[in-house]
Amino acid sequence: MTRELLMGNEAIAMGALAAGVQVVAGYPGTPSSEVLETIAKRNPGGVHVEWSVNEKAGAEVAAGAAYSGARSMVTMKQMGLNVASDPVMCVNYIGVKGGMVIYVADDPGPISSQTEQDTRHFGKYARIPVFDCDSPEQAFQAVQDAFAFSQAHETPVILRSTTRVCHACADVDVPQIEPPAAPEGFVKDPKWVIFPGLSYRNKQKLVRREAEFAAEFSRYSGNTIEGSGPIGIACGGISYAYVKEALSLLEAPARGASSARDSFTVLKIATPYPFPADLAETFLDSVQRVIVFEELDPFIEDALIYEQGRREGSRRIPIEGKRTNTVPAAGELSVTTVAEILRRILAEDSSAAAADAASAPAADAVGTPGKSSDAPAGTAGAPADAAGAPDLPVRPPVLCAGCPHRGSFYAVKKAVRQALKQDPSFTQAVYHGDIGCYTLGNAAPLNMVDTCLCMGAGITMAQGMNHADKNTLNFAFVGDSTFFASGITGTVNAVYNQADMILCVLDNSTTAMTGHQPHPGMGITMMGQQVEPVDIAKVLEGIGVPWIRTVDPLDLEASVGAITEAIGQPGVRAILFRSPCIALFKPKQICRVDQQTCIGCMRCIREIGCPALTPDSADRKKAFIDPALCTGCGLCAQLCPTSCIETIPKGEPRP
């Protein structure tokens, strides 16, 4: 153990290293930047540290690492949280395996930012637990507590700080920093793929756990009640440090108190969300009035008003702060400002009239409780008179018959199966999906989407998992439209930070899932103008991807060959699976099974899951291709062991 003079951000960095963080990503932004820089400088070995190309990419890298069981952190300022909001909102619905801390530095003033933003609101909005920092010493411990809480509850955690904590200095006892232990590794499970049904159920869990977390936070050592005076002070973050110093400057005690400090009871909130309601209730019962100091918004103030208002039959006391214009609504607080307000409070309390007013109900300072229910308002699509009606058959969404994505997934699956047998250094292959039609590749029998978080995240999550576990072969699947939307950024990040991964761009020449809207690769605008299409291969080449191949996913042999070659290459490599969406054209041919030569192995049905393929209705022992669904892609014919599947012109009658 050594005692070091550390800046607040340095203390957070050393706390993260002491907690065993293994992957750290971020984007520079004052006042947060020194955290990542310190981790890089003090890296004991075994910690991957990167400046990501933006905060969204950094959050996705951290999420991918956390899925594999590693402890990860992403760093940013409050403006960067806007950029990272897509994955941050989604990762809470999915959860994590290792601890994941999202460090956000708010900038009251603002001193070096476009706007003032209070990250505590975002935590509540996203239902992500929030830890707050009030000093470098406390921040050193808070980040370790955040990691422990995150891993114990399998949830990401926001660690929030503000400028004056980030850049203040204090002596901190730092233990010997050891290299982190290797993570357990990614364990495949459907819970890692975000789908509407799963999100609905997980939203209910997020709502239910608020009370559990609030009760746990009421017992958390960082949340405290200090003193026993009649005037309550509620605060959190750097405002707690201002309050402590301001109290030491006061001279005139309140009525009946031996000193100014004895006039007050101080509630410190270190975990603003979920709000520690039990502790707050104890605090409210012990004081006659409350003044709230906090940066930036009246978050604690509103929470206290709500807690007081929801308790039926309880006494009402004044709760003052930003809502009552007692405390400045914008900008930083300071010791001087806090001391001036407290002097005024003491002066008011010294008169009998002020004491009477303080003990009377303050209706306009009390919030009105609301009522909520976990029960859904209704079941979508269920008619009111459905009693007695038969249950509808379950029809899970699947890739369309003839979809080229099926060929891409199957080719990768086949090539990987062969590669894993030949190269024992890889323990498994993990397939990172994305948002679009190809998310449906998770369904059996393909089972080719192991993770799915938000648009573009598959590319960066593959990087995070690669940095955490070198023995995993990582594939990232992204559609052509999604590549332009948010995949380019992740690809730049992969090249820049020297990831080892295989990018599979599923180029079907449209934005299929949402209705076939145009995108930059199609050469046409929404106004119908013909423009030069943006070539994805050239974009990848310009980014610096050294190995790029383009194949037709419906050519199974060529696709398997390209993937096999890619697996043998190092670094970032890309395969463009290029074949148009089947909804863009009318097929002129279809496939048909020759019942005489079909041996009934059902390999075509078992391995690719095309909805046009079913057992024959006659004896259920041979394969049958529904001519109304078949598009003639020929993928099934390429894997048939007896070559019993033939191609015929569409409309030819079945023999």
Kind and range of the H or E element at 337? helix 335-349
CATH T-level fold of 404-522+534-584: Rossmann fold (3.40.50)
What digits encode the pLDDT tens for the residues 432-441? 999 888 889 8
Q: 205-230 pLDDT, tens per residue?
A: 999 999 999 999 999 999 999 998 89
Q: In the chain, pLDDT over 70 holds for what percent of residues?
A: 92
For the cut 50, the answer to whether the pLDDT of residue 378 exceeds it is no
CA 476 from centre of chain: 17
CATH superfamily to which 2-194 belongs: Thiamin diphosphate (ThDP)-binding fold, Pyr/PP domains (3.40.50.970)
**pLDDT, mean of residues 142-164:** 96
Residue, of 360 and 485, whose pLDDT is higher: 485
Higher pLDDT, 528 or 562: 562
Q: Tell the CATH topology of 589-649.
A: Alpha-Beta Plaits (3.30.70)
Q: Note the pLDDT of residue 554.
A: 95
What's the pLDDT at 351?
A: 58
Single-letter amino acid, residue 600? G
Local structure of 133: helix, strand or coil = coil
**If you average pLDDT over residues 236-247, what whole number do you get?**
94
| Cβ atoms of residues 463 and 421 within 8 Å | no
Distance CA 36, CA 39 (A): 5
pLDDT above 80 for 364: no
| pLDDT-based confidence at residue 367 (cuts at 50, 70, 90) | very low
DSSP-assigned letters across all residues of 522-550: SSB-TT--B-PPPPHHHHHHHHT-SEEEE
Burial class (CB in 10 A: 0-12, 13-18, 19+), 528: exposed
Is residue 582 scored above 60 in pLDDT? yes
Residue-wise pLDDT for 287-300, tens only, equals: 999 999 999 899 99
Here the contacts of 596-605 (C-beta below 8 Å, separation 24 or greater) are 596/644, 597/642, 597/643, 597/644, 598/622, 598/623, 598/642, 598/644, 599/641, 599/642, 599/644, 601/641, 601/642, 603/639, 603/640, 603/641, 604/636, 604/639, 604/640, 604/645
Average pLDDT rounded to a whole number, residues 263-276: 95
pLDDT of residue 397: 81
List, in order, residues 6 or more apart from 37 with CB less than 8 Å away: 13
pLDDT value at residue 69: 94
For the domain made up of 224-365, the CATH class stated in words is alpha beta
Report pLDDT digits (tens) over 36-73: 999 999 999 999 999 988 899 999 999 999 999 999 99
**Radius of gyration, alpha carbons of the chain:** 30
Write down the pLDDT at residue 355.
44
* pTM of the predicted model as reported, rounded to 2 decimal places: 0.81
Cβ contacts of 388 within 8 Å, gap of 6 or more: none
**Which residue from 84, 228, 215, 231 is spatially nearest to 153, judged by alpha carbons?**
215
Span 470-477, average pLDDT: 93
What are the Cα distances from residue 336, in Å, to 108, 245, 333, 543?
16, 9, 8, 52
Per-residue confidence (pLDDT) for residue 376, from 0 to 100: 38
* 193, 452 Cβ separation under 8 angstroms: yes
Domain definitions of the chain by residue range: 2-194, 224-365, 404-522+534-584, 589-649
At 176 the pLDDT is 93
pLDDT digit string, tens, across residues 608-617:
999 999 998 7
Pair of tokens at residue 518 = 């145009």
**For residue 327, which of 312, 337, 316 has the smallest C-alpha distance?**
337
Angle at 170 between CA 167 and CA 174, to 5 degrees: 110
Instruction: Answer whether 224-365 and 589-649 agree in fold.
Output: no
Average pLDDT, the chain: 88
DSSP E strand boundaries for 125-175: 130-132, 157-162, 169-174
Instruction: Answer whether 99's CB lies under 8 Å from 71's CB.
Output: yes
